[in-house]
Structure 1
Amino acid sequence: MKRPLIFLFLALVAGILTSYLLQTRYNHIKQTYLLLVFIFLIITACLTNRYKGVIACLLFFMLGIIFGGNALKRGSRLIPYTRYHEQIVLEGIVLEPPYVNKKIARLRCRIRGVFTRNGHNPVNEDIILTIYRYNLMLESGDRIRFLCKLKEIKNFCNPGAFDYRAFMKRKGIACKAYVKDGRYVVFMGKQDLPFPYNITEALRSPIRNFFKKELQPNSFGIFSAIILGERKNLDNSTKEMINRAGLGHILAVSGLHIGLVAWLSFIFIKWLMLRSYRLGLAFDVKKLSAICTIVPVIGYCLISGFRIPTQRAMIMILVFLFSVILEKQDDIPSSLCLAGLIILSIFPLSIFSASFQLSFVAVAGIIWLMPYIKGYILGFIIPTHDQLPKGIMSKFLFYFLDLISVSISALIVLLPLILYYFHRIPLLSIPANVSTIPILGLWVLPTGLFSISLLPVSYKLATLFLKISNFGMEQMLSIIRLWASMPCSSIWFFQPNILEIGLYYGLLFLITKRNHRIARLGILAICLIILLDTIFWVNRIKFNKDLRITFLDVGRGGCALIEFPMGKKMLIDGGGSSPNFNEARMVIAPFLWYSRILKIDYILLLHPEGRHMNRLSFIARIFGAKKLRELNANINGVTISGSNNKDIPLEIGYKGISIIFVKDLQGYKQAYKGKVHDPENSVLVFLPCGIGNIRYNENTRNKPKICIVLGSKGKKLDLLFSCLKRSGCKVYSTYKNGAIRMEIKERDEIKVKEMRGICHEGI
């Protein structure tokens, strides 16, 4: 079998994905069965020489199922305490310095014990602790005891939503805790940090203080991100500017940064060793340089926090260094797959992580596409070898040619994943990368790391090199600001589905093999499928004949998307229940991109407070939405009418069916007063603002078929549910059921569907 590591890696990935598909039905019987099959395959592989490749793939497939199943089964001992109605007392260790903003502190804490009426229960899990009215000076290693309310990490249950629960689970966070006042936090003394925080904080604490003392706040945030791996100190405007230019990867310590450190260290160590004639004759300088490069690579990973993405990138770089030591550096695909095998064996759930997928696919794409692109560009610029420049000009030419080829290859191969996770096409990513990565890799990062290495020796020299690095960073930011200021720097786009991503990569593969007749037929077939897919979605979005209303889960607030017949769209409200979270940007917009909606025609606010409109400014700017001026309107056969009755702020009518927005059960009664509406042909939508006014009369005869409750939670929601169910109608809640889609067909048929999205157990 040629390059067996590729097939073994694919088998392991298939096993982990299979374990995910089986997670809801995974039990002890299946575990025992899989273990027996695994033992049988090992014995078979030892006794026979035939089909060893197939058996090895089956072994790794079974290993993937076992690794993935064990990772998915890991529970939390803190989750049961989130169901307590009263507050509980926890004790733990502060792992990282808190991030404080407007007297609200957020920090990571390792919980060691839970104190309840039944006694003390030891645990060993991490949580995110939020302290309001923060007036303390907590540091890493502080042991604290606090009275808090534990909350389970939950997702917004909409299709296309970010799987926040899975993201936090992969980071090792069990749940969240909230302390109402800093006075409820008691300092219990100092305690040794657990591994690896004891090493990382010992290294990072003096560096963090050095940066904070010598740098301005904006520069401190960027240096904290690229050297310490802490992005919490970056302001949102700087992050948006960098993301707009397609350079968001420079803010996350990953394969790019660790690869630059490894490359610079290898070149410097090799150059230093070659200064000694005797050393060059006695040893293989290339192998010795690769061995010595391991030290700065691991050191940089520790300084940057040694988080899971950093560990994955470190494993990948170390595998490539060992391939140089073992003289296998030419077989880069096998080295990449070996790194993937090691990473997924240690962190099986990394296969679902965007950072792992982007890093791994980027490297694979560069290996695959770079020779084609480099050859094409070189042939276009220099048709014949006689025209190649000589000397140092040749080195500069090939350096920038490699940089351009790498940027183009990475962008081409990552485009569907970038759209899937970030919904953005960075149109100027290639020139932005070509103009900024050399400054980062040859100026900012090496001088910044050299400055902190001088910190124990000479503070003045360390400050001098930090200022040199900071000057380079300012030049880099000026270039980024130039690219980001251009109106065409990036565009927002819809989220592709799995089929479309597969078609894209299939088309890309066949284009590289276009000289074969079968490949050309495959290209035509894929183009035909893409054309049919485009026609389907255009017809569904622009020429739909039904009225579709989707009620989104935006927490305690309410939001509804109305898709009128023949394509027009209107958004009603936008959540706004949390002062520190923008539902429009983080919840509503991803659903619109998932639904292939790039244009919103109208915005209607039933709560026209300033904070609601401010939150929807993102929707208005990106989707071109305008505020609906007249509440009484007819849009493509759908009537929208307001009401002077404060209990019924909005009514929508279509094909004899009424959708009535009410504030509470008083509005429920008002809706059918005087037989204005037919209960059999109406839908009641309860807004979240007035659920507290719950009054119900058992003798009410008007019973609508469907009631939909937006937002809210707790005892009031349960009481409202019981009242509505006693009336005999079908009740849905965005808080309990997630997003709800209602379709009114041309034949006056109402169809209601739950669109729960990612409400399942996080991975």
Structure 2
Amino acid sequence: MNFFLLKYRILFLLLNFVSGILISEFCENEWLLITVISPVIGALCLTQKQLAPLIFIPLGLLFSAKIPPPDNHIIHFAGKRVDIEGILFRPVETTEKGSKLFIDVKYVYTDSRQKTATGKVLINTGERVWGPTYRDRVKVIGVKLRVPKGFKNPGSFDIKRYYERHGIYLSGFISQTEQILLIRNPGLYLSLPFHFVDTYRVRFGEFIREKSTSPEAEILSAITIGDRGGIPSELRDRFSETGTAHLLAISGLHLGAIAVVFFFTIKWLLKRSEFLLLRFTVPRLAAVLTVIPVIVYTAIAGFSIPVLRACIMTCVYLTSIYIGRDENKLNTLALAAFLILVCYPWSLFDLSFRLSFASVVGILLMHRFYPLKFNTGTERLVSSIKTTVAASLATLPFIVNSFGILPLVSIPANLFAVPVVEFLIVPIGLISFITFILSENLAQFFISLDVTLIKLLLTGIENLTKLPVAFITVPALSKLSTGFYVLTLIALLLKSRYKRLIFLLPLFTVCFVLTLLFSFQIKPKTDYLKMSFLNVGVNESALFLQLPDGKNLLFEGGFLYRRNGGYMERRIVTPFLLRSGITTIDYLILTSVDKNRLDGVNYILRKFKVKEVLTNGSKLNGNLWEAMERKKVLWQNIQHKTNINFGDLNIEFIKPKKANIRDSREPYPILCKLSFKDTALFFGESILDREFKDSWSFNGKNNLLYLQEIEKNSIDVIKELSPNVLITRHIPYSLKNGMDKNTKVFETDTNGTVTVITDGKEVYIKTFMDEYL
């Protein structure tokens, strides 16, 4: 045991440091805890030297503790419309529709006064921003700053906590790029090299888009300069479904590929010189020289945090080769992780960090127990399969819990895609950038070569996704499932050395499969109806019903003039369903068929097994018709239906006699009335239309009203209906006093998902925030 501790001492230091970071994450007052435990652990380390590694627990706490904001921090301007001036502390990132600016604020202008300020903000734009580069000084006019807010639903991503870890406490949105004024920073001499590189990054990205077609141009930009915001969501889905999404983000794999290609190339060139062979240890010299292209690629990729982490990891390993300590690779990996967490403690919670280190650990353990050999062609092929399998198995829990899919074609897809991307597209992309600085014509040749390779890559990915078993949708793994999965992997690794584990391996495997199947919600017949009202965006609605007979219904509605590619289905509905253990939707009912809903339904059909779709109108796009036909999904138009019965549950569709639609793009007015014994629920599109007045009546004991938005004319309707419970997104403060005191109000913006459980006679209501707190 002492030999093991001594051999892997850095690993144990890392584990203690990680423990401190985890304690800090779940502790409300880190500084008080640091003050209390530091003397205690210090005294233990002085008296018991073998406990010395424990000192890294308070160090982890110290490095990850949140610093209270000063009096002039930007957080004090939350909710105000101001002008801000500051420095871009990251390169501008593009999105599908606009850009993201990360600004370290120096001044705030409010009421025609300039105030000194500190802190970082994120500014989202409605249009692509061209011009500003890393370390430029910019001024943003008339932006309203808000605390980043995510959606309060089971399975939702905590965007507020994510940005807080990065030191960003406020965000804002501007619709026009004219609100951004660019102020150069000639005095920042130390920043000039970074500014120079980022200027060429921007120009190179524009050059790629000018000389190449979409989506090849977007993928080349992502792989070469780290600008992956322009990649269409549908294409990202294809890569996720084949387990190759990691290829679109510059990470340890890309930096490692650059290091491997240049290390062996430089080593081969150095061996051509007898002079160098006699005076230097060529592998060590090659390792030192390989650091140069690694740092250059890091600069070209924009010095983003994931790329910097990968650069640290790669440089640590190259350093271990130089000093002759590369035999203990697990210690080297632990040192790289330790250095990264010292610089960026919150990286521990980033998916890219976890995937990178999990895959490398998997490969190292595979090599430890099943050595990789590269002497012959057959051995190289077998070793490639081993490394792919090891990386896939090590990252599987993170993939399943983050994306909700089990990519069954991951291993063949990576065996095909990784060599093409890492050993061809990435190095050629780096060469094309360097030649772009010298000659655009020469750069265009290399770009054309990369575009051809990317077309080959896309063809392979597309063909794999067409396979009927390319992937399956699975709910998030429980802690018990994850535990049995880890035990299964350990038994697989150690069975060659400990023969008795061969008897435990089937047991662990069966337990993992059983716990995984248990996570798929198979709802038995009950006497209860469960309704979940999700926290969604403005003018949108999502209601999920779990019926007494075990079936389920998903209602979606709302209307937006701006197209967002089905954001609600991708980022809100899907995580909620997966967290709830739902992979099959019996009935998907759309009270609106605007473009966003149709885009979202396309995504839902790919992700889940949907049995029947009912829509409010027949204006469906061709892609949706094709998807429904391919998946053999039934379809009905509820404009031609009056009601649907599910045992004691009756859903009535009420349409006005004259459908007065102000805009032809808006959904047809429709009122949905759910009746379950003595419980009734009203909701739908244009529910406040006066032509529905004859239908504004409840005849049950428990009456619920679901309104997407509350407006001035809503108060009179609510008073007429006089529901027991009102569920809405948000009630403006000016209208709250006009609410009926006998109506229990729930706001999903505040309460999160509102869940109503009823047997038809009694009603039980719980909210996401009540359970979260």
Q: How far apart are 1:282 and its partner, in Å?
A: 1.7
Go from structure 1 to structure 2 and tell me whether the alpha carbon gap of 1:690 and 1:603 turns closer, same or farther (over 3 Å shift).
Answer: farther
SS in 2 for 1:616: helix
Name 1:742's counterpart in structure 2: 756
Structure 1 residues 253, 55: CA separation in 2 closer, same or farther (over 3 Å shift)?
same
Superposition deviation, residue 348 in structure 1: 0.9
Mark the CA change 1:142 to 1:537 in structure 2 (over 3 Å): closer, same or farther. Answer: closer
Distance of aligned partners of 1:200 and 1:411 in 2 relative to their CA distance in 1, 3 Å threshold = same
1:693 paired to 2:713: yes
Distance 1:437 1:564 in 2: 46
Amino acid at match of 2:335: L
Alpha-carbon distance in 2 for matches of 1:223, 1:148: 33
Q: What is the root-mean-square deviation in Å for CA atoms of aligned residues?
A: 3.7
Given that 1:160 and 1:757 are in contact with CA atoms closer than 8 Å, whether structure 2 keeps it comes out as no
Task: Name 1:634's counterpart in structure 2.
Answer: 645
Is the aligned partner of 1:434 residue 2:430? no
Structure 1 position 551, deviation (Å)? 0.7
In 1: Cα distance, 2:491 partner to 2:72 partner: 46
The 1:504/1:27 distance shift into structure 2, 3 A limit, reads closer
Distance 2:217 2:717 in 1: 62
The aligned counterpart of 2:35 is 32
8 Å Cα contact 1:666/1:693 also seen in 2: no
**For structure 2, which runs of at least 5 residues remain unmatched after alignment?**
615-635, 658-668
Describe how 1:39-58 pairs up with structure 2 within 5 A: 39-41=42-44, 44-45=45-46, 48=47, 50=48, 52-56=49-53, 58=54
Displacement of 1:514: 4.3
Alignment of 1:55-134 (within 5 A): 55-56=52-53, 58-70=54-66, 77-84=73-80, 87-93=81-87, 96=91, 99=94, 106-117=100-111, 119-132=113-126
710, 716, 728: which one aligns with 2:742: 728
Kindly indicate whether the alpha-carbon contact (under 8 Å) linking 2:241 and 2:465 is maintained by their aligned counterparts in 1: yes
Tell me the TM-score normalized by structure 1.
0.84
Asked whether the 8 Å contact 1:266–1:293 carries over to 2, the reply is yes
Query: Contact (CA 8 Å) 1:170, 1:349: kept in 2 or not?
Result: yes
Residues 648 and 660, structure 1, Cα contact 8 Å, conserved in 2: no
> For residues 544 and 430 of structure 1, do their structure 2 counterparts lie closer, same or farther at Cα, with a shift above 3 Å needed?
farther
Query: Which structure exhibits the higher relative contact order, with contacts defined as CA atoms closer than 8 Å and separated by 6 or more residues?
Result: 1
What is the distance in 2 between the residues matched to 1:348 and 1:13? 9
Structure 2: distance between partners of 1:453 and 1:75:
46
Equivalent of residue 265 in structure 1, options 262, 266, 279: 262
Q: Give 1:530 shift.
A: 4.5
Distance 2:314 2:606 in 1: 42
Give 1:498's match in structure 2, choosing from 466, 472, 479. 479
User: Which deviates the most, 117-126 or 149-158?
Assistant: 117-126
Q: After TM superposition, give the deviation of residue 591 of structure 1 in Å.
A: 0.8
1:156 to 141, 151, 171: 151
Higher deviation after alignment, 147-156 or 208-217? 208-217
Letter in 2 for 1:654: F
Instruction: Supply the distance in 1 between the matched residues of 2:717 and 2:419 (Cα, whole angstroms).
Output: 73
Q: 1:460 to 1:718 in 2, by over 3 A?
A: closer
C-alpha offsets along residues 99-134 of structure 1, whole Å, 9 cap, x if unaligned?
A: 4877x5554444321111383222344433344578
Tell me which of 541, 546, 555 is aligned to 1:572: 555
Deviations 1:472-497 (A, max 9, x none): 33333333333233333223222223
CA distance in 1, matches of 2:507, 2:363: 26
CA distance in 1, matches of 2:314, 2:699: 68
1:131 and 1:342, CA in 2 relative to 1: closer, same or farther beyond 3 A? closer
1:648 shift after superposition? 9.2
Q: Which residue of 1 aligns with 2:661?
A: none
Aligned to 2:541: 558
In structure 2, relative to structure 1, the CA distance for the partners of 1:364 and 1:205 (3 Å cut) is same
Q: 1:55 to 1:665 in 2, by over 3 A?
A: farther
SS of equivalent to 2:564: coil
Unaligned runs of 5+ in 1: 379-392
**In structure 2, distance between residues paired with 1:667 and 1:506:** 63
209 and 11 in structure 1: CA distance in 2 versus 1, 3 angstrom threshold: same
Q: Which amino acid in 2 is paired with 1:61?
A: I
- 8 Å CA contact 1:144, 1:187 repeated in 2: yes
Letter in 2 for 1:626: E
Aligned ranges 1:410-421 → 2 under 5 Å: 410-421=391-402
Q: Percent identity?
A: 25
C-alpha deviation, 1:411, in angstroms? 1.1
* CA distance in 2: counterparts of 1:260 and 1:588, whole angstroms: 37
Please say if 1:587 is aligned against 2:590: no
SS in 2 for 1:695: helix
Deviation readout 1:336-368 (Å, 9 max, x if unpaired): 111111111111111111111111111111111
In the superposition, the TM-score normalised over structure 2's length comes to 0.83
Of 746, 749, 753, the residue aligned with 2:766 is: 753
Which runs of structure 2 are paired with 1:225-624 in the superposition (5 Å)?
225-370=222-367, 395-514=376-495, 516=498, 519=501, 523=505, 526=508, 530=512, 533=515, 537=519, 541-556=523-538, 557-574=540-557, 576-577=559-560, 579-580=563-564, 582-607=567-592, 609=594, 611-623=596-608, 624=610
Alpha-carbon distance between aligned partners in 2 of 1:31 and 1:70, rounded to the nearest angstrom:
12
Q: Is the 8 A contact 1:93 1:110 kept in 2?
A: yes
* CA positional deviation for 1:408: 0.9
Label 1:134 to 1:415 Cα distance change in 2 as closer, same or farther (>3 A).
closer
Deviation at 1:307, TM superposition (A): 0.8
- Per-residue deviation, 1:614: 4.5
Kindly state the Cα deviation for residue 538 of structure 1 after the two structures are TM-superposed: 5.5
Give me the whole-angstrom Cα distance separating, in 1, the residues matched to 2:529 and 2:212.
Answer: 56
